[in-house]
């Protein structure tokens, strides 16, 4: 057994045992305080609970596979405020309950940035959830009663950060606009931020939600407290496809053709 990593005072022992729910040990803590195993038992239990909590938050976040921020090619976008993006990862926006909006065309890494930001939030002990806009709105619209909808809305409002990807890639009827408005409004009132990516300027959101009366109010609440970051340039995925094609063409040229 490894030695304990810190000393244990009576007050800290009481606090930590109470937090862990070790009430039997808590009742005898004055007697047990000098026992060398007590602090180790506390540390083992705290470490295991922290591990399980992290795993649970990661599972609930639904991040899927994603590349690390270290792999982001900052030189590829023609417009990208690197300092503003890196500042987001200090998580100051979380304490301020400020939304994060990434605006730009397809293929510039907005999804990658959202997933890394949600991952950072989780690593710092908070909860997060990542979802495509279409998945969330279809999920909410599928609820067949007011009670079921209220229950499902809690899925998207109780986490510390909700990351919504790809707003603007599809158009929706007014019912879906109302549902997005409900999510944004509830999180706005609870002071829980949203991180959102879109390929549409806000003036074009009436194309995403045509005939919806709540679009102006939806955007107003989303932007009231928000960090807005614009990216521009050509698709990075298209660049990778071109590079892959060039490598394969070069390999075919370099390899001697087999004859029968």
HEC profile of 109-176: CHHHHHHHHHHHHHHCCCCEEEEEHHHHHHHHHCCCCHHHHHHHHHHHHCCCEEEEEEECCCCCCHHH
Read off the pLDDT of residues 15-38 as tens digits, 9 standing for 90 and up.
999 999 999 999 999 999 999 999
pLDDT value of position 249: 78
234 contact partners, CB below 8 Å, separation of at least 6 = 78, 107
Token pair recorded at residue 24: 């039997």
Q: Is 121 exposed, middle or buried (0-12, 13-18, 19+ CB in 10 A)?
A: buried
May I ask the CATH architecture of the domain 69-236?
3-Layer(aba) Sandwich (3.40)
pLDDT value of position 1: 47
pLDDT value of position 3: 56
Read off the pLDDT of residues 202-259 as tens digits, 9 standing for 90 and up.
989 988 998 888 999 999 999 999 999 999 998 877 666 777 777 777 788 877 665 5
Cα-based distances in Å from 159 to 121, 127, 259: 11, 5, 62
Q: Where are the domains of the chain?
A: 10-49, 69-236
Place of tokens 């907005």: 110
């Amino acid at each position: 057994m490894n030695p304990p990593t810190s000393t244990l005072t009576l007050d800290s022992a009481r606090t930590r045992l109470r937090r862990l729910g070790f009430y039997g040990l808590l009742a005898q803590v004055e007697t047990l305080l000098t026992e060398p195993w007590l602090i180790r038992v506390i540390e083992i239990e705290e470490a295991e609970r922290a591990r399980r909590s992290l795993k649970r938050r990661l599972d609930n976040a639904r991040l899927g596979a994603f590349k690390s921020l270290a792999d982001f090619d900052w030189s590829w976008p023609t417009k990208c405020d690197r300092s503003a993006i890196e500042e987001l990862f200090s998580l100051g926006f979380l304490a301020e309950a400020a939304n994060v909006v990434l605006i730009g065309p397809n293929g510039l890494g907005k999804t990658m940035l959202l997933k890394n930001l949600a991952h950072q939030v989780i690593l710092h002990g908070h909860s997060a959830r990542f979802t495509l806009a279409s998945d969330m709105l279809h999920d909410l619209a599928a609820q067949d009663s007011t009670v079921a909808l209220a229950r499902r809305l809690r899925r998207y409002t109780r986490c510390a950060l909700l990351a919504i990807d790809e707003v603007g890639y599809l158009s929706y009827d007014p019912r879906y606009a109302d549902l997005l408005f409900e999510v944004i409004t509830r999180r706005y009132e609870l002071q829980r931020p949203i991180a959102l990516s879109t390929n549409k300027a806000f003036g074009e959101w009436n194309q995403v939600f045509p005939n919806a009366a709540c679009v102006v109010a939806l955007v107003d609440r989303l932007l009231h407290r928000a960090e807005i970051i614009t990216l521009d340039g050509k698709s990075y995925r298209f660049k990778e496809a071109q590079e892959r094609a060039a490598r394969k063409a070069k390999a075919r040229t370099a390899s001697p053709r087999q004859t029968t």
